[in-house]
Amino acid sequence: MTPNERQELETLLPWHAAGTLGPVDAARVEAALASDQELARHFAIVREEMAETIHLNEALGSPSPRARDRLLAAIDAGPARSPRTPFGAGIARLFAGLTPQAVAWSAAIAALVIVLQAGVIATMLTGERAGQRRATFETASVPEVTPLPRVSAPAPAPASRGSVTAAVPTSASGAASHVLVRFAPDASIADITRFLETNKASVVDGPKPGGLYRLRVNAGGKDELASVVATMQASKIVGFVAPE
């Protein structure tokens, strides 16, 4: 490894710690870490920085519900928008207007056009190569690289992309439990969001039969869990709640 290559890999360590490198770069860094003790020591420093950065940010708290209320008020005060028609819906509508016979004929004609077009292209290619020496032809390919698993930081990880959750801090005991909940039919998304935030819960599964949702809650022991369930039962937007 040249000094330049090593420096480049060193520069990539923060992204490797966060798990945001592409598979090729991640594999390069992993290989270097396995053979370079100094680089591995540097990587430990990077991970420590990452853990404390997450800790620092998590300690910043959350915005007050007023911010959401202001947003919703501004949206309500704005002009109503007509729903946008997706591209696929337009095509669907076009075909819906045709009779089955017309659709069948259209498909047959389209297939014929494609076959003719392929024939023309093949003829052109054959003609172009007729006077040329035989050339080899290879398909382009990319070497297969197995994506590496994300490196988890020792500190609490931030919510994953795409998850729907209120922040669920770990309890003093560090354990979490699950409860089954059925929301009232008239519960709005705002109600549910507030409910999840208030009870420090997140939806992990559902709906199950009977409209039940499995929630992760921050409760270590039986007593703690019973207290959480009791609090949830008092909510107007909950029709049913029970520990799992």
Partner 1 sequence: MVDEPCRAFGRLPDESRTLNALEASDEILIGRIAGGDRLAMQALYARHHVKVFRFVLRLVRNEASAQDLISEVFLDVWRQANRFEGRSAVSTWILAIARFKALSSVRRRKEAELDEEQAEAIEDDADTPEIALQKKDTGEVLRRCLAKLSPDHREIIDLVYYHEKSVEEVAEIVAIPENTVKTRMFYARKKLAELLKEAGVERGWL
Determine the interface stretch with partner 1 among 106-114, 125-133, 137-145, 187-195 (rule: CB under 8 A): 187-195
User: HSE (CB half, 13 Å, CA atoms) of 158?
Assistant: 14
55 binds partner 1 (CB under 8 A): yes
**Binding of residue 207 to partner 1 (CB under 8 A):** yes
**Contact between 211 and partner 1 per CB under 8 A:** yes
Question: Which of these ranges, 117-125, 138-146, 200-208, 227-235, lies near partner 1 under the rule CB under 8 A?
Answer: 200-208
Helix (H, G, I), strand (E, B) or coil at 166: coil
The contact pattern for partner 1, residues 85-114, with x = CB under 8 A and - = no contact, is: -x----------------------------
d(CA 201, CA 232): 10
Q: How far is CA 205 from CA 161, 218, 230, in A?
A: 16, 16, 21
**Beta strands in 42-187, from DSSP E residues, in sequence order:** 177-183
| Cα-based angle 165, 78, 71 (whole degrees, multiple of 5) | 30
With CB under 8 A as the rule, give the number of residues binding partner 1: 68
Query: SS3 for 180?
Result: strand
Contact positions vs partner 1 (CB under 8 A): 11-12, 14-15, 17-22, 41-42, 45-46, 48-57, 60, 62-64, 66-68, 70-72, 74-76, 78, 80-84, 86, 158-159, 161-167, 183, 185-190, 192-193, 203, 205-207, 211, 213
